[in-house]
Structure 1
Amino acid sequence: MSEVEADQPSMRADAQRNRESILKAARTMVGKHGTEASLRGIARDAGVGLGTLYRHFPNRDELLQEILRSNFDELAEKARILVSSENPLEALENWMDEVAASTSEFQGLAASMIEKRMDPQSPLHASCSSLKQSGDALVRRAQQAKRLRADIDGADIISLVSAIAWLADLEGLKPTRRKRLLNLLMEGLKE
């Protein structure tokens, strides 16, 4: 159970089923059509009315936040593990590659992350901030090892990774091309 669910009063069984159906339909629809997938289509595929969708998720960002939460949590946990790596630059590069790959899974997510990272009112802002903090820890570790330029921070890393993921959206980059761009980027970031 997520922290949000733990803070909320118990949900009726039918309301919980509706919520789960909405999330399942949203994952499928966003996976196929990107972050701008039709909310009406999601409600239809979930077998609920649009009003029910909005009762559970008052706006698109809250729905996206919920379906992406586990991805963002996994990336943050991965960063916590990688921060103690013997090769901090390689750890940062591996994490950046995972962020780019994860972000590329949903068309439009990279653009949404770039936009929402600057909007503290957006439900996606917290997840984007969490990713930035994870990146900060890996960046500091690589800088302490004198492997990464001193003028880089987690916000730079998230922006650069988001740019690669955004290109993947636009150009349909294959993983090998995404990795090549990341390698080129890392060469420019080295101390």
Structure 2
Amino acid sequence: MADQQRADARRNYARILAVAEQEVAAHGADASLERIARVAGVGSATVRRHFPGRRALLRAVFAERIEALSARAAALTDAADPAAALRDWLAALTDYAASARGMADALAQDRLTEPEDVQSCAAKLAGALEPLVERAARAGAVTADVTAADLITLVTGIALATEHHPDPAAEAHRLLDLTWRGTGSAA
């Protein structure tokens, strides 16, 4: 019986987290906890048992994606084309930042997370990205003074700037492409 309860609790947790990610993407960091519970097919008490507040839920939503982005960076570290690997990872970060409306805002304004959470998220992403940036710099794809933190800040800014665009993901990618190519003008 206890094993069945633990299995149910794990399924509920996973379902709540999946629904929360969709709701945050659709409605931003202010997504309704009651709606999340309803869509997940659980009671609001079950949501609160797993996530005592909005911050805990957002932390879990963002942490899962940050782990996935970190794993993707690790997988790209030995790619044959360092520039393409870096561009691929930046596109993945742009996809997520443009679709998870609350993430860029929370990271940029420290509105919904503790300062150490923001630093931890940024540090994890930068740590994962740094080998890709170093390889791209050695290949001449980016200048040696470009840092992982610079690129994360750039993508965060693009996501914030395009959040209210009719198609935020497409506009974010257009701006990332423009940034990657440069303006084409001679300095």
State if a TM-score over 0.5 links the two structures: yes
Cα distance between partner residues in 1 of 2:114 and 2:18: 28
Instruction: Give the alignment partner of residue 125 of structure 2, picking from 131, 135, 141.
Output: 131
* Aligned-pair Cα RMSD in Å: 2.8
**Is the 8 Å Cα contact of residues 94 and 169 (structure 2) preserved in structure 1?**
no
Structure 1 residue 47: Cα displacement: 4.7
Q: Partner residue of 1:97?
A: 91
Cα distance between partner residues in 2 of 1:180 and 1:31: 20
Match of 2:85, as an amino acid?
A: A
Q: Does 1:62 align with 2:56?
A: yes
Cα 1:72–1:62 shift into 2, 3 Å: same
Q: Partner residue of 1:38?
A: 32
* TM-score, normalised relative to structure 2: 0.77
Secondary structure of the residue that 1:151 maps to in structure 2?
coil
Q: Does 1:119 align with 2:120?
A: no
Cα distance between partner residues in 1 of 2:135 and 2:168: 30
**Is the 8 Å Cα contact of residues 35 and 107 (structure 1) preserved in structure 2?**
yes
Q: Partner residue of 1:184?
A: 178
- The list of structure 1 runs, each at least 4 consecutive aligned residues, that deviate by more than 6 angstroms after superposition, is none
Q: Does 1:140 align with 2:134?
A: yes
Structure 1 residue 182: Cα displacement: 1.2
Cα 1:165–1:143 shift into 2, 3 Å: same
1:147-167 alpha-carbon deviations (Å, 9 max, x no partner)? 312222111110001111222
Aligned residue pairs: how many? Answer: 177
Structure 1 residue 99: Cα displacement: 0.6
* TM-score, normalised relative to structure 1: 0.75
**Is the 8 Å Cα contact of residues 94 and 173 (structure 2) preserved in structure 1?**
no
**Is the 8 Å Cα contact of residues 136 and 153 (structure 1) preserved in structure 2?**
yes
Cα distance between partner residues in 1 of 2:172 and 2:92: 11
Cα distance between partner residues in 1 of 2:12 and 2:88: 37
Structure 1 residue 130: Cα displacement: 1.5
